[in-house]
A and B are shown apart, each in its own frame.
With several copies, the nearest count.
Chain A
Amino acid sequence: MILHILNRPPSTSLVYREALAAMGSTDRLLLIEDGVLGALTSQVRHFQQVGDRLFALREDLVARGLDGQCDASVQVVDVDGFVTLTEEADKTVSWF
């Protein structure tokens, strides 16, 4: 299982499509930095195929004042949870 890490928002960058194309059926996707914009209810449709394997970094949502608008389908993790996700994955791949 691979942890994919995406730091670009789907509102202006199509890099998320590259990440989605590369994801295996058990891989996970973590949204960080400006990537967390994709976790908003208004944006999360772009990640529909990821199902319950979609994560977002809490402190990047909080700093932007967006934690209240994060979609319920997204698993919000703190930075400890980020480390745990890397522990649980065989390897990580960053998309930027």
Chain B
Amino acid sequence: MRYGLLVKGAPYSSQAAHSALRFASALLARGHRLERVFFYHDGVFNAARLAAPPQDEPHLYDAWCALNAKHGTQLQVCIAAALRRGMLDAREADRHGKSGHCVEPPFELTGLGQLIDLGQEVDRLVTFAP
């Protein structure tokens, strides 16, 4: 089956990102395909490229990137939710006249339409919220 995940919780504050990553590896191990993870609400903070968790904690940012590298899962971030929360990629930073950026590939800022698309495209969409 084709799966999509919707992640709404900030990393470490709630268990949402942990649960989503855990569920992702389990569904992949069962032979399903994970098309895309969409980040909304405080979930957009998962895309913060500078995350530096303690060595003895799971590195959630790296785990998302590994999901993309190994399985081609798209990591899409709601652009409206991200901009207000300061999660800008290089293009948006430029557009807003700011130097530096917080979000970079494999995470991409996209419209909410991609979440609606995802819901139509996949067999199962599972939400992990704070």
Find out whether A and B make contact in their complex, taking CB atoms under 8 A apart as touching. Answer: yes
| A19-27, A45-53, A87-95: which lies at the interface | A87-95
* Nearest neighbor of A32 in chain B, beta-carbon distance: B19
Q: Report the minimum CB–CB distance from B27 to chain A (whole Å).
A: 5
**How many interface residues does A have (CB within 8 Å)?**
19
- A92 near B129 (CB under 8 angstroms)? no
Select one of B15, B124, B129 contacting A94, CB under 8 A: B129
Within B72-107, the residues touching A (CB, 8 Å) are none
Select one of A33, A83, A91, A93 contacting B27, CB under 8 A: A83
B12 at the interface (CB under 8 A from A): no
Select one of A34, A59, A79, A94 contacting B128, CB under 8 A: A94
- B32 near A92 (CB under 8 angstroms)? no
* Nearest neighbor of B9 in chain A, beta-carbon distance: A96
Residues of B within 8 A of A79 (CB): 22-23, 26
* Nearest neighbor of B119 in chain A, beta-carbon distance: A91
Select one of B8, B126, B128 contacting A86, CB under 8 A: B126
A80 and B32 CA atoms in complex are apart in Å by 12
| Given A7-B129, A92-B124, A96-B130, residue A83 in contact with residue B19 (CB < 8 A) | no
Residues of B within 8 A of A59 (CB): 22
Within B1-20, the residues touching A (CB, 8 Å) are 1, 3, 8, 14-16, 19
Residues of A within 8 A of B127 (CB): 5, 92-94
Known: A5-B126, A80-B29, A93-B127. 19 other contacts (CB 8 A): A5-B127, A7-B15, A7-B129, A32-B19, A33-B14, A33-B16, A33-B19, A79-B26, A80-B26, A80-B30, A82-B23, A83-B23, A83-B27, A86-B124, A86-B126, A92-B125, A94-B129, A96-B8, A96-B130
16 interchain pairs (CB within 8 A)? Answer: A5-B127, A7-B19, A7-B129, A79-B22, A79-B23, A82-B26, A83-B26, A84-B30, A86-B124, A87-B124, A89-B124, A91-B125, A92-B124, A93-B127, A94-B128, A96-B8
A residues at B contact (CB < 8 Å): 5, 7, 32-34, 59, 79-80, 82-84, 86-87, 89, 91-94, 96
